[in-house]
Amino acid sequence: MKIRLFGVVFIALTVFSSWAYAERIKDLANVAGVRSNQLVGYGLVVGLNGSGDKTPFAEQSLLSMLNKFGIKIPDGTATNSKNVAAVAVHADLPAFSKPGQKIDITVSSLGNAKSLRGGTLLLTPLKGVDGNVYALAQGNLVVGGLDASGSDGSRITINVPSVGRIPDGATVERTVNTGFQLGNTIALNLKNADFTTATNLVNAINEKLGQGSASALDAETVEVMAPRDPNQRVAFLSILENIEVEPGEEAAKIIVNSRTGTVVIGQNVRVSSAAVTHGGLTVKISETLGVSQPGALANGDTVVAPDSTVNVEATGDARMFKFSGGVSLNDIVQAVNKVGAAPGDLVAILEALKQAGALKADLMII
């Protein structure tokens, strides 16, 4: 039943993927410059219930913070606080974010803190790759994990208690310039570079907005004439991103996940004339438990000893597959199913065809 399901799934993929369909430009391409930016910062989480850090840098950060508030701690004095944890704070700053807006942040322990549950993040500046501060973070953590331990050493951990989030935990302080309002053109970058898709994209835009409105720079970038006025440009993008385009067909490709045994085959895969025989090895491992009894005067103990046996047998029913020139995915799957082969056999067959030069597709093993 599993083998039949395997064949039906791949045949269905072949049939449905052969139909022509259109997608919106917003699903196929991104506007150049309009993207999120990563922010990161270092801070302290306080108020923990004895589950904080026991690391030198957490201690140093605590002393530095106290010093800024005018509290002088003599050199060499250890606070031995268990309620403080040094953390890394990171967030994504969405495009067009303005000062005063809120963004979500993620807080992760840097040291050996057992849990951040119940903690409060103190004011932490979040910087971009250019070193400028773009947001300020602070607030109470929401931790989905749980860590509990007993005096006898027993311990239970649910999820990851050393990572938490603060919804709307940071306030934007600086705007990132996207370049959206600059120039007379807008560049659309395809998510998957393809010459056919780029050509179809140009034709669809020119048909909708007039000839000469768009031109392809390469297989990934299409340049579109746009108004300079910000209000008109936003309305123009609203029209542009909803234009439907028929994407080009993907290149013939086969992807094999060697860990899970999953095989994905594109619709354009073809095989030239070839014959493949596929035999296999059967490995049987059996393990029994025996009793080792010492002699009467050996002063030994009776123990249970495992006894493992490994047998390797070659299967005698090697299967021969014969493919005529130009056969499709449907023919390959039907041939494999007809002889009752498993998906793993199909992987071996495809690898053999690739080595022989008969497989007209890229074979990727991940």
Domain boundaries, the chain: 2-11+253-291+309-365, 22-34+179-245, 37-172
- Could you list the pLDDT tens digit for every one of the 366 residues in the chain? 343 333 334 433 444 444 456 889 889 899 988 889 999 999 999 988 888 888 888 888 888 888 888 888 777 777 778 889 999 999 999 989 999 999 999 999 998 888 888 899 999 999 999 999 999 999 999 988 666 655 555 566 667 788 999 999 999 999 988 878 788 889 999 988 889 999 999 999 999 988 989 999 998 999 999 998 888 999 999 999 998 998 887 777 777 776 666 777 766 676 666 665 555 544 444 556 666 666 666 666 776 666 555 444 445 555 555 555 556 656 666 666 665 556 566 666 667 666 766 666 767 767
Q: Which pTM value belongs to this model?
A: 0.64
Sign of CA pseudo-dihedral 157, 159, 163, 167: negative
**CA-to-CA distance for 362 and 354, rounded, in angstroms?**
8
Tell me what pLDDT residue 107 has: 94
Structure tokens at 64: 């530095």
**CA-to-CA distance for 75 and 73, rounded, in angstroms?**
6
Which CATH fold topology does 22-34+179-245 show?
A: Gyrase A; domain 2 (3.30.1360)
Which among 207, 205, 249 has a CA at the least distance from the CA of 226?
205
Tell me what pLDDT residue 282 has: 44
Tell me what pLDDT residue 357 has: 66
Q: Map tokens 């944890």 to a residue.
A: 85
187: amino acid identity, one letter:
A
